[in-house]
Structure 1
């Protein structure tokens, strides 16, 4: 192959191309992603230093959109691909349990790329849908049963420990007897394989001089924590429903 072709490949013209094909596009937090990376050789032989796969989250903060790499996976060692040659690299990766659910308007995607020395690196992006962990889903359903309606899914950027710049929060409005007591209920999760730590922040409504003063000084919030295990729900959610209802009632007043 001519030096001219090699020069073009270094600029991305006639370069190798990459295409990731996933077995499915919908996963739960902590789920296993299976797929294959197809690499199509270009006009010249090229050495691929690595195939990388990024788990990327797009979020908005301070009136700007941010692209955050949540996890990075390396899928191969150095190899060479010849002109027009096709290579298929199968892979399995585990999603982090704290991957944000995408139903809140938070795009999540996988970005696959080839690291090629002295050349423009080709890449490919694939959007994926993230559903709540099954325990998270059950807790959210219980919160609705005790008199709340989910109104928004957003991010909290302060006051809670996270290995990322944010933690996802689920915002509820009271629909029952607590409408005159609470403005909203915010629920967050630290998620493990078989248990979740639930953090509920109660935003109390100002009803008199004292609570108005607390609201002005931002002292009107109450934080409640509880751990929910897979074994706790083996017989249904009735016990959890009572526990969450009692905790909310206790700290709302």
Structure 2
């Protein structure tokens, strides 16, 4: 009875470990994993498993800015079973990352972008034992071309973070409840009077939308947007489009 009481508060309880086939992924990519459930000191009833795609978001409040965890997407495996002490059970899992998963692999001096998968067990009367697996998220070809174009146009990558909220433009809107901001500044004096540019991406299956916030000297911030079809990614064309938009 004492062991069962300890297990009910997480001492000697079953544990979970998610083993990903790869931690290196792109937004919207399908991934596979094995969820390993290991029995604790007593027999326990498992009512299901939950996985969550997580990131850290910046929130602005009256008291200032702070970071908090945000669930981008959640998956539930409604598998019920009893796990005996010392028993190991392996459950295969497959899903697709949300297309708006923030990019973590950005060469910015200040990169505050983190993404991970968190796995938890649903155990009656127990704290949820959980497992966290960090992901390395890479840009798709359209995003990569935009970032390269910014370099070619003489802008310097400064910072990347993820903010809480939604993006809306005339032809698209985000759905994940958070959005990434990638901040650039001119390497030298800008001919367009630009002091800062912030890029946010909303990828879809066959195209990527770009929302661009422009901070010009002596003028209020302005927003412009651009859509890139994935079968028409061309670095020279994107450079030309950005130059026209910035002018």
* Range of TM-score over shorter length: 0.7 to 0.9
| DSSP-derived class of the 1:6 partner | helix
Aligned residues: 233
**Is the contact between residue 58 and residue 65 of structure 1 (CA under 8 Å) also seen in structure 2?**
yes
CA RMSD of aligned residues (A): 2.1
| DSSP-derived class of the 1:43 partner | coil
| DSSP-derived class of the 1:144 partner | helix
Per the alignment, residue 181 of structure 1 pairs with 193
State how far apart, in whole Å, the 1-side matches of 2:71 and 2:214 are.
Answer: 31
| DSSP-derived class of the 1:63 partner | strand
Per the alignment, residue 152 of structure 1 pairs with 159
State how far apart, in whole Å, the 2-side matches of 1:13 and 1:177 are.
Answer: 61
Per the alignment, residue 210 of structure 1 pairs with none
Cα 1:9–1:190 change in 2 (3 A) is same
Q: Where does structure 2 lack aligned partners over 5 or more consecutive residues?
A: 169-173
Q: Where does structure 1 lack aligned partners over 5 or more consecutive residues?
A: 207-214
Superposition TM-score, scaled by structure 1 size = 0.83
The structure with the greater share of residues assigned to helix is 1
What does the per-residue CA deviation read over 1:195-231, in whole Å, with 9 as the maximum and x for residues that have no partner? 111122221123xxxxxxxx3xxxx333221210112
Larger relative CO (CA 8 A, sep 6+): 1 or 2? Answer: 2
Shift of residue 166 of structure 1? 3.3
**Is the contact between residue 58 and residue 67 of structure 1 (CA under 8 Å) also seen in structure 2?**
yes
Superposition TM-score, scaled by structure 2 size = 0.85
Per the alignment, residue 31 of structure 1 pairs with 29
**Is the contact between residue 73 and residue 176 of structure 2 (CA under 8 Å) also seen in structure 1?**
no
Shift of residue 163 of structure 1? 3.2
Per the alignment, residue 225 of structure 1 pairs with 225
